[in-house]
Every structure is written in C-alpha cells, then in structure tokens.
Amino acid sequence: MTKQAAAFALSETSPDTDAKPELLTRRQWEIAALVAEGLSNRHIAEKLVISERTADTHVQNILNKLRLHNRAHIAAWFTERR
C-alpha cells in the first residue's frame, strides 16, 4: 500500500491515527502486517496455522484497540508506522 493510498483510506472516516502502537501484542502486529498485505482472515489463518475465527478475533481486537473502523484503516495505520 502506498502512502497516498494509506492517506486516502485514513481520510474516509478519520480514525484515531494517534493510537499507540504499544497497545498491540506481537501477534497483533503480525496480523496487522498480513492485513496490510491484503490477506483475508482465511489466508491469515492458513499462513499462521490458526483458525479463521482466531484470525477474525485478532483483527477485531486490533480495530478496537486502535479505534479503527475497517481493514483498510488497519492497513493504512500499519503502513504509516513501518
């Protein structure tokens, strides 16, 4: 994801981009990276050898912790912090 695409995704609903990265666990950072690569929960689950439900739970926890609204926001947030 390019910086321009990240900026566009973040501008859609103006999520809290000041969320602290330390709120995420190492596993959640790993999940966020895979979301930023465009992987679905199913593909994340296959790659990490976890259930799809566990992948979904991680994504939901990331959204809640960072006060983001969707996967595009996770991708943009992650890309900005690389």
In-domain check, residue 55? yes
Q: Using the predicted structure, report yes or no on whether residue 62 has a pLDDT greater than 50.
A: yes
Among the residue ranges 4-18, 20-34, 59-73, the one predicted with the least confidence is 4-18
Contacts of 3 (CB under 8 A, 6+ apart): 79, 80
DSSP 18-68: T--GGGS-HHHHHHHHHHHTT--HHHHHHHHT--HHHHHHHHHHHHHHHT-
Q: Using the predicted structure, report yes or no on whether residue 50 has a pLDDT greater than 60.
A: yes
Q: Record the pTM.
A: 0.78
- d(CA 64, CA 28) in angstroms, rounded, equals 12
Domain that includes residue 52, residue range: 3-13+25-81
If one counts the domains in the chain, the total is 1
The average pLDDT across 28-49 equals 98
Residue with tokens 């593909």: 43
In-domain check, residue 9? yes
The average pLDDT across 27-49 equals 98
The average pLDDT across 13-25 equals 69
